[in-house]
Amino acid sequence: MSGLAAGIRLAHYDQKVCILEKHWTIGGLNGFYRLGGRNYDVGLHAVTNFTPPGTKKGPLARLLRQLRFKWEDFELSPQVGSAIAFPGVRLGFTNDIEFLRSEVARAFPAEKDNFEKLLTQLVDYDDLTQDNFGGSARQFLGSVINDPLLIEMILCPLMWYGNAREDDMDFGQFCIMFRSIFLEGFARPFAGVRLILKHLVRRFRSLGGELKLRSSVASLKIDGDRVVGVELESGEVLEGKRILSSAGIVETQRLCEDLTEKVPDQRAGQLTFIESISVLDKQPKEVGFGETIVFYNDSPTFHWRSPASGLCDTRTGVICSPNNYQYPSESGNLEDGIIRLTTIADFHSWVNLDEAEYQRQKMWWYDRSVASAVRFIPDFRSHVVDTDVFTPKTIRRFTSHDNGAVYGAPEKKLDGTTHLKNLFLCGTDQGFVGIIGAIVSGISMANMHCLKD
């Protein structure tokens, strides 16, 4: 997706652009698939950074301007309402920050003023310059908020939707995620992520861009400090003035033929998930689940790290329903009632299973994860008519990221540069995550490195 956004920018300014996609379908983690006659999105729970039409500030408005799309093109319908659920405390939030304000005042009356202070300190963060990106989000929160439970509850959704680092979060990433989720908000196109991808591909092609599917890159041919050719698995070699890679930092280095020593694995991200999808015989709200997204955690402390043992850690999770958005009345609601559930998983444990055991463990962890989730939302299990589970193995297949790391490497490369003069990074490892993040990343790297001369 970041590649498509960069491609549109460059093709619009008359550059000859070729996008190489490993798979027969596009989108990477923001892709979609069809199984048993049903359409599923891969990564999409929600498009974040939702702002209403006419808004001029913020990443959504910026990317629409940069790619020359109309607000209406993405057909975004806002969420109904979401929640952060910890034992005995629930904080609701919507796309209007006033509601979260009132929820904090209700559940944490002593923190009302501190939360205000937090809001004023966050709005000044500039995501175009990213001057203060480093630093600990936990330390920052600790300096503003006294109640440790509120700190954990604020961090839970922000880490779930975009933190590549275990335990703590970079201050800049915290600001970006806080804005994208609490100050802006969630939305979804009725037709899912495919609608956004369709628009991007159509625009890219109409500007003369070339999109080559099933074109996996085997290596980057290097001469001195420049990439001189991109060799595909098929043996074909393409030449280009500049290369943008959305493969990830470590994964891109591995493609460079000049880096002979093994790139250490620990620099790749560790956080990956299983996704348990339940198809219901009713709309989710008819079984009592009317919220858009619920981030739950079953103890006062939120543990954001790869499981210490076992295949998954079900203490925390994200429950979401694509049905629970305010779709326009003419489109009705989605035909199938769907509840998706994301659970932290361990990549290595999943890839080391043999096929029979893999299938068995998928079913076992579906049950365990759902059993954990229904402590926080009404029990929907008697209405389930179909299920699908995808695992870190699936995520690696879609993204080719080491460890199936959903949010990429913990150390971001914000300026997108590499050891080679004409090779740049875009996508998750450059710094922005999610659908809007991927698009903004592609745009900013194209602007910064490919348009100014």
Partner 1 sequence: MGPAEIRDEILDILSDIAPDEDLSGLKDEVAFREQLELDSMDFLDIVMELRKRHRVQIPEEDYGNLASMATTVKYLEPKMADI
Stretch that binds partner 1, among 30-38, 43-51, 64-72, 428-436 (CB under 8 A): 64-72
- Interface with partner 1 (CB under 8 A), residue from 24, 36, 56, 224: 56
Q: Are strands 32-35 and 243-245 parallel, antiparallel or unpaired?
A: unpaired
- Interface with partner 1 (CB under 8 A), residue from 30, 51, 66, 95: 66
Stretch that binds partner 1, among 62-70, 107-115, 250-258, 308-316 (CB under 8 A): 62-70
- How far, in Å, CA of 207 to CA of 222, rounded? 29
Fill in the per-residue mask, 357 to 396: x = in contact with partner 1 (CB under 8 A), - = not in contact.
----------------------------------------
Stretch that binds partner 1, among 43-51, 60-68, 208-216, 376-384 (CB under 8 A): 60-68
What phi and psi values does residue 30 have, to the nearest 5 degrees?
Answer: -90, 30
Query: Tokens for 137?
Result: 């989000």
* Helix residue ranges, H only, 297-354: 347-351
- How far, in Å, CA of 185 to CA of 55, rounded? 13
Q: What is the dihedral of CA 391, 393, 394, 398, to 10 degrees?
A: 140
Supply the DSSP string of 386-416, one letter for each residue.
Answer: EEEEE-HHHHHHHH--GGG-TT--SS--TT-
Helix (H, G, I), strand (E, B) or coil at 200: helix
Stretch that binds partner 1, among 49-57, 285-293, 405-413, 426-434 (CB under 8 A): 49-57
Nearer to partner 1, 12 or 45 (CB): 12
Nearer to partner 1, 7 or 404 (CB): 7
Amino acid at 448: M
Nearer to partner 1, 130 or 394 (CB): 130
- How far, in Å, CA of 408 to CA of 96, rounded? 30
Amino acid at 289: F
Query: By C-alpha distance, which of 89, 127, 84 is closest to 296?
Result: 84
Nearer to partner 1, 61 or 414 (CB): 61
Query: By C-alpha distance, which of 190, 185, 191, 194 is closest to 328?
Result: 190
Fill in the per-residue mask, 423 to 452: x = in contact with partner 1 (CB under 8 A), - = not in contact.
--------------------xx--x---xx
Fill in the per-residue mask, 401 to 420: x = in contact with partner 1 (CB under 8 A), - = not in contact.
--------------------
Token pair 């500039």: residue? 126
Told to check if 123 binds partner 1 by CB under 8 A, we report no
Q: Answer whether 256's CB lies under 8 Å from 420's CB.
A: yes
- Interface with partner 1 (CB under 8 A), residue from 14, 72, 113, 239: 14
- Interface with partner 1 (CB under 8 A), residue from 16, 18, 34, 68: 68
Nearer to partner 1, 15 or 391 (CB): 15
Query: Tokens for 70?
Result: 């109309």
User: What's the per-residue H, E or C state across 124-171?
Assistant: CCCCCCCCCCCCEHHHHHHHHCCCHHHHHHHHHHHHHCCCCCCCCCEH
- Interface with partner 1 (CB under 8 A), residue from 37, 54, 109, 332: 54
**Cα of 403 vs its chain's centroid, Å:** 16
Fill in the per-residue mask, 124 to 163: x = in contact with partner 1 (CB under 8 A), - = not in contact.
----x-----------------------------------
Residue 5: enclosing H or E segment and its boundaries?
A: helix 2-12
Interface with partner 1 (CB under 8 A), residue total 18
- Interface with partner 1 (CB under 8 A), residue from 36, 37, 57, 235: 57
Nearer to partner 1, 183 or 409 (CB): 183
- Minimum Å gap between C-beta 448 and partner 1 is 9
Q: Answer whether 275's CB lies under 8 Å from 338's CB.
A: no
What phi and psi values does residue 309 have, to the nearest 5 degrees?
Answer: -150, 155
- Minimum Å gap between C-beta 385 and partner 1 is 45
448, exposed or middle or buried, with CB in 10 Å at 0-12, 13-18, 19+? middle
- How far, in Å, CA of 401 to CA of 425, rounded? 14
Chain residues 330-349 in contact with partner 1, contact rule CB under 8 A: none
Fill in the per-residue mask, 184 to 213: x = in contact with partner 1 (CB under 8 A), - = not in contact.
------------------------------
Told to check if 262 binds partner 1 by CB under 8 A, we report no
Nearer to partner 1, 124 or 355 (CB): 124
Stretch that binds partner 1, among 61-69, 130-138, 235-243, 279-287 (CB under 8 A): 61-69
Nearer to partner 1, 56 or 262 (CB): 56
Site for partner 1, rule CB under 8 A: 12-14, 54, 56-57, 61-62, 65-66, 68, 70, 128, 443-444, 447, 451-452
